[in-house]
Amino acid sequence: MKYDFLIKEALEAQKSSYAPYSHFNVGATLLADDGKVYKGCNVENSSYGATICAERVAFGNAISDGKRSFSAIAIVGGKDLSHCEMAIPCGMCLQVMSEHCSDDFEIVLCKGEEIKVYKLCELLPNRFKL
């Protein structure tokens, strides 16, 4: 499928996940409109609220490299690296996507061989915007 390459890189990003508290390892790959891929993994903290999700790390990497336009993000996550669940992005990550992406931005999730692609407007149908 057209996002196989993005999922493969997300599985690579997941290997860097720092998750000693939840043991839920997440990797994300954000596809910029120019074709460049930005990776992120979750970075946990002993002060749990200071944890950063993989998706927001990927956005931070891309934004700090000057990118402003994105078409898709692949997310893989699971308890330990050996298996993968449908890792639906949390509300805070959806809000960050909402800041930088249009309604048709695609969110690619997988569980083993099963792949699901959602539009941002399906997961966050009513956005907060200033």
Per CB under 6 A, residues contacting ligand THU are 19, 22, 24, 26, 42, 44, 51, 53-55, 89-90, 93
Minimum CB separation from ligand THU for residue 27, in Å? 9
Name the residue nearer to ligand THU (CB basis): 7 or 66. 7
Among 9, 12, 44, 55, the one annotated catalytic: 55
Annotated active-site residue 55? The verdict is yes
Closest CA relative to residue 74, chosen from 51, 49, 40: 40
User: What sign has the CA pseudo-torsion 126, 98, 87, 56?
Assistant: negative
Tokens matching residue 83? 């298996």
Phi and psi based region of residue 36 (left: phi greater than 0; alpha: psi -120 to 50; beta: remaining): beta
Enumerate residues 6+ apart whose C-beta is below 8 A from 55: 26, 28, 30, 40, 73, 75, 89, 93, 96, 97
Minimum CB separation from ligand THU for residue 107, in Å? 10
Name the residue nearer to ligand THU (CB basis): 19 or 62. 19
Minimum CB separation from ligand THU for residue 91, in Å? 9
The set of catalytic residues is 55
